[in-house]
Amino acid sequence: MINKNSEVPCYSQLSEILLGQIRTGAFPPGMQLPTEIAISKKYKLNRHTVRRAIDKLEAEGLIYRIKGKGTFLAKTKIPYNVSKKTQFTTSILQAGLHPDARLLDMYEITAGVEFSDRLKIQPAEKVSVLEILRYADGIPFSYTTSFLSAKKCPGIQNLLNRERSFSLYQLLEEHYGIKATRKSSRFEVAMPDDRDMESLQISPKTPLLVVKSLSESPDGEIVEYCLSKFRGDLCSITVDFNDLRG
């Protein structure tokens, strides 16, 4: 139990108790932890102390929160393979999980200097922007913003439905005859902003794996610039160099 006369802060004692329970298998991977109220009552602590203990475990990647649902013990990290032929749906299926995707927003912007350079189009041309939230077994997994030349993919917004899951690459191939493959990817680590936290249902302490990628058509034209933010507490990315060389 908690020793309130100890020099060790109560939240640290509680986090060690919960950690011990995790290590002994009291909480199997993916299991929902008791609520903060339940833990407060059991250990006779205020909710602020309990929250600090849980925050500590979350910062160590041992648990994760889903807004409106509760706190869960982290599963084995989901493997995600990055290669020339990477597709979210395929990668998640290979991990033995159910993929899903929801369109959060779609709009057009003028390319300007930044996106004319990335997409190799004129600065005055229009760019279609798709904000997509992707799931693995119902858990928010990545928040992706795709930028595509509106000229190369005319009317793409009319093909999308916010209520229906879809594969962007499959849509590009079926409706525009564009078979996109990855040209390059750059990896960074960042902390989430307010939109990331809301969409991915994470705390400000959960790191993001940020992947900035370019995709191209078979004739070498740039098809998409993509900014993907993966939950660092759930994702393990592998780069397939053999495939990228191909």
pLDDT, residue 221, reads: 93
pLDDT, residue 25, reads: 81
What domains does the chain contain, in order, with CATH numbers? 10-73 (1.10.10.10), 78-245 (3.40.1410.10)
pLDDT, residue 83, reads: 75
Q: From CA 115, how far away is CA 25, in angstroms rounded?
A: 50
pLDDT, residue 11, reads: 93
pLDDT, residue 123, reads: 96
pLDDT, residue 69, reads: 80
Three-state secondary structure of the chain: CCCCCCCCCHHHHHHHHHHHHHHCCCCCCCCECCCHHHHHHHHCCCHHHHHHHHHHHHHCCCEEEECCCEEEECCCCEEEEECCCCCHHHHHHHCCCCEEEEEEEEEEEECHHHHHHHHCCCCCCEEEEEEEEEEECCEEEEEEEEEEECCCCCCHHHHCCCCCCCCHHHHHHHHHCCCCEEEEEEEEEECCCHHHHHHHCCCCCCCEEEEEEEEECCCCCEEEEEEEEEECCCEEEEECHHHHHC
Structure-block tokens of residue 169: 């690459």
pLDDT digit string (tens) for the chain, length 246 residues: 888 889 999 999 999 999 888 888 888 777 888 999 999 999 999 999 999 999 888 877 788 777 778 888 876 678 887 777 767 877 888 888 888 888 999 999 999 999 999 999 999 999 999 999 999 888 899 999 999 999 999 989 888 876 566 788 888 999 999 999 889 889 999 999 999 999 998 888 788 999 999 999 999 999 999 999 999 888 888 887 666 554
CA 170 to chain centre: 20
pLDDT, residue 242, reads: 67
pLDDT, residue 120, reads: 95
Among 7, 73, 91, CA closest to 34? 73
